[in-house]
Structure 1
């Protein structure tokens, strides 16, 4: 592998920066996880796959990553605001369940879908409700610093007071004066000193379902506070990477920065990474907009916008074919193209694992072929080093696949590469596909055994010139998306692309 020179686009500085961990070889990464009041959709899949790939690549480089991704199971109110009903409590009332039943149900389905997408489990997955004492302690610290105030059992962060020392809006580029001006006419300021202030702790009404005792009375934590409490508990006052969707940049991540500075007098994270949105016809996909497609609907094809079902690995590949900072627009055509690309990659993986180097002294090395392979390998790594550009990396992996396919079909003699370059090509392809991009074959072992039996029967029927049986097996497999490959010296199969 080429020398490590990883650059990450830091939202905070709005430029690519050399990645220099605070305490190498350890890397701390916190990613905002789901609010568990409904099934995961395509919009949830993007940050999960984005930061899974970051985790995978950093691990591949030799870093020891502590990846913390939270579960929000309280405090996230309707409209991402400080007023209104808790999203989980609202769902609980509708379904006549305990809020924790709702949270558990959708945490379980989220885990099921993340496993299907082949994402690694986070090192730690804390829940907001499991960290109420830490959140209360943070509120007390911010009050002591004089950057919060208590009103009627609620505690609010004083943004104007904070802005005298720090800069509120530096992550999102929002200008405080404009935020204040834009909020003057809005209703709901209520007990806040200023509409831009945000809740650290909210007083709970008697009918509120999720509440805890605190020094200010019975209440519940503010949404932004939860992430500050959990990230600092498990990663320290400052850690390397904070990730999440671009929609969380303001106000959620902006408020996390304010809370971190208020408590610890430093930004919580060194690098801020944000994945862009998935859109449908140019509009953001999300529960609040009602235009989302759940992952289970994608896997089964059971949605009015879907022309067919798309497998979990097709979805993963689809997300990886765009750079994480670019928008990714949903369409059936795009998903069908992803399905085809994924099958090509996996057909290549099957072939790659079968190829062996066979020394033949009669064939001399081909400098041009060697140069092309080494260039593709270096460029694949350069793409990942350039802010995790999976889209470009996949292009270079396809260039390697062309060579691999040519060797497999006999168009290229393996010996033109020499053993070292051949081994490097094979290893790079397998490592990128399985370890870095996280793609895997979706045929189960028992299906693989059945395929082997059918191909044996196919071969015997061909030898016996029983062509009706040959056609029957070939057509039956084709209906299942499997193509029989008749080659000079063997019979093989591939996924139909």
Structure 2
């Protein structure tokens, strides 16, 4: 089946066809760098990392942009409040740029440990102030924006398509308790800031035709996406919480400026909950990645994330992650046994498994189903190895499938395939040697009628996940 993507704009799965054959342009909203990365970041960027890896596996040349927000993101995510980075700089008694640099480095450290590929370009908001000013100029010239007291606002009433992504209307802003508060200088309460005049003492500010100030949060993504990817891009991703106002505002300002469709496929990943409750700093259930990496391998966290679909919520609990750890170990054991095994006579219909894996990934990147297929394949491999081994062709095909989907696409086994084979062979050989010795000791104990020692060896191995079976030809063992 062809690749189908759920498009948040049309609210349906659509066959993916890039604007230019063989090439894909992809933009994903990056982090606002005022703190260490958390599990919500991990879910988003691991999910889009798999999207990137699968597109490249299909043969597309993907240009992937992920921005770094280092100015303009205010504390209420709209037009009010304090710049998040400036606020953190005040708390830590340092410069905002030092905060941005510190947490940018921290973010990439965590993503590297999760096996997330870095983007082709990682533009910063502060590095593209002239591009944002140019976009705002265009919007003013075309009658879609206006200046008041040094602030510049986008006029939502000038753009009939406002609300087509989120389903929100301009009337929603007039309702009591609406997200956008009315301001006397705005023509409409839903109008959003493109440029903000800096207040006295504000450190992050630049000269513009309207005032000394800084760009609104929404302007940066449009300016940078269109600069590097063109006026119409194939895929734009981000968190579901960014549909409104951020992505809605991106569409309005971009399409008003160019007159062309901004994004062809909008993709949104769902949120993280903790024991059923939305994760948040204010609730005290915030999961910092550096903390969780002290308890679990980063690859276990990646595996845990991919067990849920990117559009489904991910509920975190230590019990759930431990279950993921156990499942991942089973796949690892099968991979080790497979790469260390000698040819035998058993066969596996690898084409059937490959078709199921491709169908899962082409069905809106359905990683839970793809993982389930890998587990089915793992079980078939273990059964064949327990029966004497796989035929050479089947063994090679199984290695290829594990390498392609377990390593290259899902990234849940290892990102260094050359070292995997060496390490797995060494470990498997050591295990074979240790088990051979233990079975010899057990056999001698049985011959001496020392059944207490014999049973002790069997029971302790069983506790470790190794099953012993006595046959006429001697004792056999298997994992699981």
Q: Which residue of 2 aligns with 1:423?
A: 396
Which one of the candidate residues 28, 31, 49 is aligned to 1:31?
A: 28
**In structure 2, do the counterparts of structure 1 residues 455 and 232 end up closer, same or farther at CA, with 3 Å as the change threshold?**
same
Residues 439, 491 of structure 1: CA spacing in aligned structure 2 closer, same or farther, 3 A cutoff?
farther
- For structure 1, the residue ranges without an aligned partner over 5 or more in a row are 301-308
Q: Give the counterpart of 2:269 among 272, 275, 281.
A: 275
Task: Give TM-score scaled by structure 2 length.
Answer: 0.87
Which residue pairs with 1:409 in the alignment?
386
| Distance change >3 Å, CA 463–CA 311, structure 1 → 2 | closer
Cα-Cα RMSD: 3.3
Shift of residue 440 of structure 1? 2.8
1:439 maps to: 412
1:376-411 Cα distance to aligned partner (Å, 9 max, x none): 221111011100000011111111111111122226
Match in the other structure for 1:41: 38
SS in 1 for 2:315: strand
TM-score by length of 1: 0.84
2:79/2:193 contact within 8 Å kept? yes
Q: What is the 5 A alignment of 1:47-196?
A: 47-163=44-160, 167-182=161-176, 189-196=183-190
Residues 1:327 and 2:313 aligned together: yes
Closer/same/farther in 2, CA of residues 289 and 135 from structure 1, 3 Å limit: farther
Closer, same or farther in 2 for the Cα pair 1:184/1:6, shift >3 Å? Answer: closer
How far did 1:267 drift? 2.5
Instruction: Give the Å deviation of 1:83.
Output: 1.5
How many aligned residue pairs are there? 462
Contact 2:173 2:180 in 1 (8 A): no
Q: Does the 8 Å contact 1:56/1:435 carry over to 2? A: yes
Q: In the TM superposition, what is the alpha-carbon distance from 1:278 to its structure 2 partner?
A: 0.8
- Specify the SS of the correspondent of 2:65: strand
How far is the alpha carbon of 1:453 from its aligned partner? Answer: 9.9
Q: Give 5+ residue unaligned stretches, structure 2.
A: 446-452
Shift of 1:290: 4.5
CA contact 1:27–1:66 (8 Å) conserved in 2? yes
C-alpha distance in 2 between matches for 1:269 and 1:186: 24
C-alpha contact (below 8 Å) 1:43/1:286 kept by paired residues: no
* Aligned partner of residue 80 in structure 1, secondary structure: coil
**Cα distance in 2 for residues equivalent to 1:265 and 1:234:** 18
Say if 2:323 is the partner of 1:337.
Answer: yes
Retained in 2: the 8 A contact 1:459–1:491? Answer: no
Moved more, 211-220 or 421-430: 421-430
Corresponding residue of 1:11: 8
* Cα gap change, 1:332 to 1:463, in 2 (>3 Å): closer
Distance in 2 (alpha carbons) for counterparts of 1:131 and 1:485: 61
1:217-264 Cα deviation digits (max 9, x unpaired)? 100000000000111111111110000010001000000000111111
1:305 matched to which residue of 2?
none
Given that 2:232 and 2:264 are in contact with CA atoms closer than 8 Å, whether structure 1 keeps it comes out as: yes
